[in-house]
Amino acid sequence: MSVTTILQSAKQAAPALGRANTKQKNELLALIADALETNSNRIIEANQVDLAKGTANGLTKGLLDRLTLTQERIQGLASAVREIIALPDPVGELVRGRTLANGIRLAQVRVPFGVVGCIYEARPNVTVDIAALAIKSGNAAVLRGGSAAEQTNKVLVSVIQSCLAGAGFEAAAISTVDEYGRDGAVAMMQARGLIDVLIPRGSANLIQTVVTESKVPVIETGDGIVHLFVDESADLEKAVPIIINSKAQRPSVCNSLETLLVHEAIAQDLLESLIPAILDAGITVHGCWRTQELIDCVPATDADWATEYLSLDLSVKIVANMDEALEHISRYSTHHTESILTESIANADRFLLEVDSAAVMVNTSTRFTDGGEFGFGAEVGISTQKMHARGPMGLAELTSTKWLIRGDGQIRG
């Protein structure tokens, strides 16, 4: 089967999912959740093949962590699918409506895109997340999960396709072009008219390649150079666990902390309080010259401020005031997530107002920028653009709208 045939088959399969009612889609998702658990050993066996290949090819620890599926993680994927079942179906939702003076009734309602494409790398969890969200929102999906997870994704898609067929839908509604390598990704980017919207997830290089080369409309996700600013009023007892959680709870993901900005008035007290937790978590600090005077650390370079480590590395900069912190964030942010730790309402309000990122936080871990944590069940990705979707994308972001106009013989004068 050629790539074009796969894309055409997905396009043909999409209308049936678009017409399906909520009960039918939920029953299909329940089948998928159960099948993931039933086939967990088969999935893990395929994943071990990918992990061995990735290790031999020198994949970083961060990518290997993203690639890894365990019994616990598969259970988590099944649970996320079941959470999607419990969410309201966006299809048909009334966005707005009115009756004109002439009696014509207008209604803007949510409708599926049709075929959603996703290009990503070394993240087999995305295969399940995208498939489940696409199904619930009435879309078909074509996936390119990258060579690093090829065997895992092959089994996952096979499991999902079996469930589709068992529920009376075309298996092609969820498809993969992984076997075609980069040629498959290029075909997706050129498939205007077959794929309605394309979503890249992964490295900055992958995302920029899709954005610049695609003829298909793209929802741009972004890498996460995530900042956390601790101002002079911050509660240090709260600050230490929030910083460590933001950096070390899972450093390989895009919402993990990369740069810590510290107000000079509390820098010494905070850094001294952080040292035991930093050592315990195995974090390597890349510090500015002022940080180097207070703690033992690796000297930070200009490149560090612009680096998404995805590892247990943390850049630390001491700043004179909020103005300097905001200036640094404006210069280096990828507009993903930024957080402030403060007991000042004025500072919190200013930070929320002036920081131009998809998620802006006060007194909490950056790890909460996540579709699951937001109650979406799973996420398509985290959009850093400013179009219809921004931040974690769930079901509603996989829909467009159309206008329904009902009249009774009116003509325009």
Q: Tens digit of pLDDT for each residue in 150-168? A: 999 999 999 999 999 999 9
Quote the mean pLDDT of the chain: 95
Mean pLDDT of 110-130: 94
201: left (phi over 0), alpha (psi -120 to 50) or beta: beta
Q: Nearest-CA neighbor of 323 among 195, 226, 231?
A: 231
pLDDT of residue 372 exceeding 90? no
Q: Nearest-CA neighbor of 319 among 224, 257, 232?
A: 232
pLDDT of residue 250 exceeding 80? yes
CA atoms within 13 A on the CB side of 301: 2
The pLDDT confidence band at residue 252, using thresholds 50, 70 and 90, is confident
How many angstroms separate the CA atoms of 57 and 59, rounded?
Answer: 6
How many angstroms separate the CA atoms of 339 and 348, rounded?
Answer: 9
pLDDT of residue 377 exceeding 80? no
Of the two residues 225 and 252, the one the predictor is more confident about is 225
Q: If you ran DSSP here, which 8-state letter would residue 221 be given?
A: B
Residue-wise pLDDT tens digits, 258-305: 999 999 999 999 999 999 999 999 999 999 999 999 999 999 999 999
Fold of 226-368: Aldehyde Dehydrogenase; Chain A, domain 2 (3.40.309)
Q: Which two structure tokens, joined as six digits, stand for 113?
A: 């895109």
The pLDDT confidence band at residue 207, using thresholds 50, 70 and 90, is confident
Instruction: Tell whether pTM > 0.85.
Output: no
Order across the sheet with 115-119: list the strands.
Answer: 174-176, 140-144, 115-119, 197-200
340: left (phi over 0), alpha (psi -120 to 50) or beta: beta
Cβ atoms of residues 141 and 130 within 8 Å: yes
Residue-wise pLDDT tens digits, 311-360: 999 999 999 999 999 999 999 999 999 999 999 999 999 999 999 999 99
For 3-219+380-406, CATH gives: 3.40.605.10
Supply the pLDDT for residue 116.
97
Supply the pLDDT for residue 203.
77
Domain limits of the chain? 3-219+380-406, 226-368
Supply the pLDDT for residue 3.
95
Give the amino acid at 339: S
DSSP H helix total and E strand total for the chain: 15, 16
